[in-house]
Amino acid sequence: MTPGLRYFPGFLALEAQRQLVETLREAVAEAPLVTPVMPRTARPFTVRMTNLGPLGWVSDRAGYRYQATHPVTGRPFPPIPEQLISIWRGVSGYPHDPQACLVNFYGGGAKMGLHRDGDEEDFSAPVLSVSLGDTAIFRMGGPERGGKTETLKLASGDVLVMGGQSRLCYHGIDRVLTGTSTLLKDGGRINLTLRRVTIP
């Protein structure tokens, strides 16, 4: 795998996954999932999103950015759950806590094109991903568009850390394998992406 990319399959046991899903249900009730759109074109994403933490990542016609309030309710985002903070402290290798947790929900047919996380100030901090629900086909490329890519199946409970050389590599979700998990009552996949945004 790309240097700096660390994969922890089955990091969260089933009961821990269930507890996290219940915590997320409460958070989403306060900060509902929205369908973001691409800058300029206003083309809608196929995933629905919300955020947890003092900062949240937002995409709309004005561009990509971080902000402190939900784009629809105007209220601050709920805090990042302690369960996620504990995971970050355990495997990120970074001395400061995350400031943002992007919550992506993948329903039927949802995917995420190749992109890189480049809206943060501090690229020395890794990006940490937690997968819940149906298995996803994750695609990883290099620091430039095009070229060779590799795929990895991310199952429920898996944790992925993108640090070092992998931090600014292009990556995305090709598809979600429907019916591969019973964790979520109505199926689908939740991806939680923890990030440090500003330089400490």
Instruction: Flag whether 129 is in a domain.
Output: yes
Q: What is the pLDDT of residues 145-167, one digit of tens each?
A: 988 999 999 999 999 999 999 99
Q: What is the pLDDT of residues 108-144, one digit of tens each?
A: 999 999 999 999 998 999 999 999 999 999 999 999 9
Instruction: Flag whether 116 is in a domain.
Output: yes
Nearest to 91 by CA among 130, 52, 143: 130
How many domains are contained in the chain?
Answer: 1
Report the distance separating Cα 129 and Cα 194, nearest Å. 6
Instruction: Flag whether 42 is in a domain.
Output: yes
Instruction: Flag whether 148 is in a domain.
Output: yes
Structure tokens given for 113: 């094109």
What is the reported pTM?
Answer: 0.95
CATH number assigned to the domain comprising residue 190: 2.60.120.590
Instruction: Flag whether 87 is in a domain.
Output: yes
Instruction: Flag whether 60 is in a domain.
Output: yes
Contact residues for 15 (Cβ-Cβ < 8 A; gap 6+): none
Query: Side chain identity at 68, as an amino acid letter?
Result: A
Range of the domain at 10: 5-195
Find out whether 47 and 105 touch, Cβ atoms under 8 Å: yes
Report the distance separating Cα 114 and Cα 173, nearest Å. 8
Instruction: Flag whether 200 is in a domain.
Output: no
